[in-house]
A and B are shown apart, each in its own frame.
Chain A
Amino acid sequence: MALPPKNAPCWLKLANGGMKSLRTSNLGAQMLSQRLELSKLPAPQKAEEVYAFFVKWERGLTNEIAQLSGL
């Protein structure tokens, strides 16, 4: 499944707490999820960070990417 484009709404959903509902055993994704939950950064900035994370680790996140359409 292809990674959604940067302007797709899923990135903002993930930044606004959606990371918590992802089923993942990826340590980086789990720790990033916690950091975003505690972060006071504006949501669009957090969404950029989530997008950059998925772009970088796309090959290892196939299960997580498959869940994005259901957010």
Chain B
Amino acid sequence: MKSLNLAASDRGRINALLSVDDTIALIRAGALLAIAGRKAALDQLPAGQWIGGTTPYFMTAEGGEIIDDTRLFVTDFSGLGSVRVASYGIDHLHQISEDAPDNGFALAIIPFQSPVHERFAKESGSYPQAFLKPTVGWIAGFDLGEAGASAFVYDGQSATRHGNHAVVLHVDLPAGQYPSVEIVNIFEADGVETIQFDEATFSPSSVLVNGEKRCFVDYVKARGLDGGQLPLVGDYGGARINASIRAVEADKVQLYAPVFPGIDYAFAGAVPDYVGAFGESFAAHPHDGAIWSCNCILNFLFGELEGKDIGGCAGPVTFGEIAYSLVNQTLVQVRAA
């Protein structure tokens, strides 16, 4: 790995894996950064203008990678406009979109399985400014091979680690540009049955299938979908928004995102060529002015993306993605249009 030239004019816009030492040098040079990696690496970083979150999984220009604690994934927002670091507790999450700049977006990182995660997932779609001042971002995770691991986010201003906060970069774009939030979702409803839920929950126990109430566990097992590869696809005014299966328990199904009443869901149809479908869908979207992206851990695992390039996108692989609100099994991209 080459050492960085830290002269701002030579730095370009970094969106790549760097050594911990280079990341520390960037922070000390005053760069405005979003950083992702393992806890042992993030814990070494000094205070500065950055936010961070834990995950060892990444998409890079060369393909999917699982990193150790000697490297970090760094996205440099310096030179993009005005950028500000903020941190929000559970009772102030609605302020993320309120505080976001008029001509920009909020990039949020939230720890998986925290009360903040649950609250944001259930409420973010109803925040008054949600569609006027967009929030994008990701849910921090951990190495799935590490028993008992937890997800954390970092407020770089104080270099502190948090298990129940949202950390945010408020990115104010230059005049003449605006943020365009886009998703790449390879899944489509299978058209077999319409599925509805009667409460907003991460763990539904019952479901309406074509209007008939059924035990959701029994339904998922009867459909042979308890492996979790295929998400529920919700119809949000024509947008396909996924909620993915995390675990099928004795009496309920645990999801990575909540389902909501009033939304028509269906299970996704099978995707025989995961990598091919991703590459095709990704290529169909514009990428001019791309600032930031993330992709889902389930796409990484089920698509076996380690070592595979899906079109040159680079960013953290996450335990949930944020595009206005929480989505699953989806690539999120924000561009300066």
Contacts and interface: CB of A to CB of B under 8 A. Distances in A.
Contacts of B183: 27
Contacts of A62: none
Contacts of B235: 34
Interface size grouping (class) on chain A = 20 to 34
Interface string A28-71: 11111111011000000000000011001101100000000000
A57 B237 CA distance: 18
A34 B235 CA distance: 8
Interface in B282-337: 323-325, 337
B131 interface: yes
A19 B180 CA distance: 19
A31 B325 contact: yes
A32 B324 CA distance: 10
A20 B236 CA distance: 10
B178 A27 contact: no
B233 to A, nearest CB: 13
A60 B180 CA distance: 8
Interface in B224-239: 235-239
Nearest to B285: A25
A59 B178 contact: yes
B66 to A, nearest CB: 30
Interface bin, chain B: 20 to 34
A27 B132 contact: no
Interface in B144-163: none
Contact of B126 (A33, A35, A52): A35
Nearest to B134: A28
Interface of A: 19-20, 24-25, 27-35, 37-38, 52-53, 56-57, 59-60
Interface of B: 125-126, 130-132, 134, 178, 180-183, 235-239, 241, 262-263, 323-325, 337
22 contacts: A28-B134, A28-B324, A29-B237, A30-B237, A30-B238, A30-B239, A31-B131, A31-B239, A32-B131, A32-B237, A33-B236, A34-B235, A35-B125, A35-B131, A37-B237, A37-B262, A38-B262, A53-B131, A53-B132, A57-B178, A59-B337, A60-B180
Lowest 3 CB-CB distances: which A-B pairs, in order? A33-B237, A30-B239, A30-B237
